[in-house]
Structure 1
Amino acid sequence: MTELSEVVQSLKAERSHPLCAYIYDLGHLKRHASRCIETLPATCRLFYAVKANSEEPILRALAPIVHGFEVASLGEVEKVRSVAPDAPILFGGPGKTDAEIEGALQHRVSLLHVESAHELRRVDYLAGRAGRVADILLRVNLRGPLPSATLYMAGKPTQFGIDEEDIPAVIGLAKRCQHVRLRGFHFHSISNDLDATGHAHLVAHYLRLTRTWAARFSLDIAYVNAGGGLGVNYRQLDKQFDWEAFTTELNQLLPDECPPGATILFECGRYMTAACGAYAVEVLDIKRNHGKDYVIVRGGTHHFRLPSSWQHSHPFTLVPLEGWTAPIERPELRDGTITVVGQLCTPKDVLAYDVAVERVRVGDVILFQYAGAYGWSISHHDFLSHPHPEQIFLEGGAC
């Protein structure tokens, strides 16, 4: 963090306008991704979920390291193909259009995750019209119960996947289709799970279900996609998902649980990129209303929607900046408790709340950590037409 503070100092020295920037440490990203790949069990493959952060430098940095990319739109397919023409691609998500299915076939997507019986019929028809056979996985919406997590895509009514009770009928339909080849199953049930051992046992549950269906319906299973869902702890940054414990547990479970000859796929986004990015915003004003102290920054949830979306107070550090040159008094607050808000005309534009600080001044920079995933990519960029933040990509070590 000291190095990143120095980067902020340098950036601010080069600018006369208030600083507002995403800063990404590509060196950190590459090291983290490489460590994950190197420690995976031999039967596993790690794909990057593009939805977490689809900036071109991020994709270019990961392309030589990960085993491929997971996408959820034709636009994401095209972004991947622009930097990695031959990389394996997994295509998931509900509500695929005909154009997306046709585009997936044209761009040689490796596996299509089929979300319903109707989508299966459409893939079969469109693949046949293109003179192709599409390799597919059926996405399963498990009945549960599931481990504790922040978001659930299965285990309860959601728009994702095929109800576990309906899987036998859809397997039968897939076997009757002439232009699809059923290669296995896709399970992406939860998001932001922090329990490494529990998550490994969830993967084992996926594999046991797959083996049951394979035996019952005489299926040749090539792939089991265990999804993503590995968490980031935004409340305690020093207590993150234990990758080593996860892979150690997998190594113990897979020999007994993995279907013979199958490859286990993981599609991680947040866990891959969160730590490599920071959102740096300059303090514009400090004010007190109804007994609470507010720090207003150049930026807000239109740039960094994650805290509002997940309803948490996002962790940050303060970078003090000297050299105040304005011909007016510099506002400051000492030994206070602050709520950090942006420039939007809504009381929901809150990035952090009730945080104790020793000192904060107008002109200082607040550095939101672990902002490399689901930050800029999910934000409503043009609300109120404020300028976009800078996007700064560093090759060295900063984050």
Structure 2
Amino acid sequence: MVPEPVRAALSQAQRPVCAYVYDPRVAVDRITAIRAALPAGTRVLYAVKANGNPNLLRAIAAHADGLEVASGGELALALAANAKEIAFAGPAKTDAELDAAVDAQAMIHVESAHEARRLLHLAAGRPVRAALRVNRTAETPSGSHRMTGTPTPFGIGEDDLDTVPRELNPTGFHLHAVSNNLDAAAHARFIDDAVAWSVTNAERLGIPLRYVNAGGGFGIDYTGDAHFDLDQLHIRKPPNGVTLTVEPGRFIAADAGWYATEVIDLKRNHGRWFAVLRGGTHHFRLPAAWGYSHPFTVLPVEHWPHPYTRPEVSDVPVDATGELCTPRDVLTRGQHVERLRVGDVLVFARTGAYGWDISHHEFLRHPHPEVLTVGGVG
């Protein structure tokens, strides 16, 4: 199902069609739903890494409690979007990034004792807002990526928390642990445990606890019917004086985007049908990176201005493949189509997060997709 505003935008797109369409209203509605599911006073930040499109970001920044960034480039985007609050994460912050984060009065998630010493030196007496990112030993919920509870470059090990310079004066912890968890009840238990752990360890370390950031990890199912059920997100209210923060990215932005690309050729090789597209994994890399088939909807295009026969197939499975010179440029394998013609457009929903932003845009130097925005938010 392609929403009518998306269809209308694509009807005016350049030919051959290759475009991302974003609807900020979808992201804003998702922020509202998340906030309603969480204890009163919980802050909802948006993880810019999921999608930094400026039009989308401005709308999100106006309705979220802030933005989470992980580079100087994302920090610049957050400032341009007038973010109410900025949290700065990332395991390899440069001196320039730390300096800019201090200037922006961002909450800096400190990844190591060495980073803490660098930060204090660079601040040169300026006020620093900091929290300790910790790689806890606790079990994490299931998901596509585990950040903690296993050897990773993220955060400070629990045994090393005593090595952080006291003069940093952190006010809490950043405990992001997993990406793309679909079990909301398990995630609620993880957040409750993260708050309890923070209370215990803040007391042990002499930290005046005011901030617990449980990270993101709210999941999206790209191929089935599972969903992260906000009605199951039963989280206890944190202690008085402690602000709980979450920072979803995928869950906010995924359903706010559609990737659309025109069928350039239909061909059969070794008994298998291929829809060859004006686009591919250099625009939407996630299916190749994660090894799954991303479902599409056929958007029929009746206009055919050419004097030669229009190729078409009916009632067959097709692979949706891209324009790159590699057999790995595949978005979907074996999806059944009732009818598909050269010149029709395949629309891939749920591509508003980790789509364009993580893709290898310059490989083969094909033109970038159009970026279209529909709807408006106040």
TM-score range, shorter chain: over 0.9
2: CA distance, partners of 1:218 / 1:14: 58
| Equivalent residue in structure 2 for 1:117, among 113, 120, 123 | 113
The answer (yes or no) to whether the contact 1:224–1:263 under 8 Å persists in 2 is yes
For 2:165, the aligned partner's letter is A
Give the AA of the match of 2:96: A
Q: Is the 8 A contact 2:6 2:374 kept in 1?
A: no
Q: Which consecutive unaligned segments of at least 5 residues does structure 2 have?
A: none
Q: Which residue of 2 aligns with 1:75?
A: 73
Report if the CA contact (8 A) 1:43-1:262 is conserved: no
Q: CA deviation at 1:145?
A: 2.3
Question: Following TM superposition, by how much is the alpha carbon of 1:38 offset from its aligned partner in structure 2, in angstroms?
Answer: 3.6
Q: Partner residue of 2:247?
A: 267
Structure 1 segment 47-126 matched on structure 2, within 5 A: 47-84=45-82, 87-109=84-106, 111-126=107-122
How many matched pairs? 377
Amino acid at match of 2:170: L
1:134-153 paired onto structure 2 within 5 Å: 134-153=128-147
Deviation at residue 44 of structure 1 after TM alignment: 1.0
Q: Which moved further from structure 2: 197-206 or 214-223?
A: 214-223
Q: 1:203 aligns with which of 184, 191, 196?
A: 191
**Is the CA contact (8 Å cut-off) linking 1:183 and 1:220 kept in structure 2?**
yes
* Matched-pair contact (CA < 8 Å) for 1:174–1:182: no
Identical columns (%): 45
SS in 2 for 1:37: helix
Query: What are the within-5 Å matches in structure 2 for residues 1-399 of structure 1?
Result: 1-4=1-4, 7-8=6-7, 11-12=10-11, 15=14, 17-84=15-82, 87-109=84-106, 111-127=107-123, 129=124, 131-167=125-161, 169-170=162-163, 173-175=164-166, 177=167, 180-236=168-224, 238-246=225-233, 249-250=234-235, 253-254=236-237, 258-395=238-375
Q: Is the 8 A contact 2:27 2:256 kept in 1?
A: yes
Q: Deviations over 1:288-333 (max 9, x none)?
A: 1122111111101111111111111112111111122211111111
- For the residues of structure 1 that align with 2:263 and 2:151, how far apart are their CA atoms? 43
Distance 1:136 1:344, change over 3 A: same
Structure 2 distance, partners of 1:157, 1:359, is: 49
Question: Structure 1: where are the runs of 5+ without partners?
Answer: none
How many angstroms apart in 1 are the aligned matches of 2:239 and 2:205? Answer: 14
Deviation, 1:162, is: 1.0
Q: Which segment drifts farther, 138-147 or 376-385?
A: 138-147
Distance between the aligned counterparts of 2:97 and 2:305, measured in 1? Answer: 54
Residue deviations 1:154-195, cap 9 Å, x none? 11111111122322x23xx332x2xx2211111111000000
Q: Give the letter for the 1:118 counterpart.
A: H
Q: Structure 1 residues 44, 285: closer, same or farther in 2, change over 3 A?
A: same
RMSD: 1.7
Compared CA separation, residues 40 and 320, structure 1 to 2 (3 A): same
TM-score w.r.t. length of structure 1: 0.91
In the alignment, the residues of structure 2 paired with residue 260 and residue 7 of structure 1 have an alpha-carbon distance, to the nearest angstrom, of 45
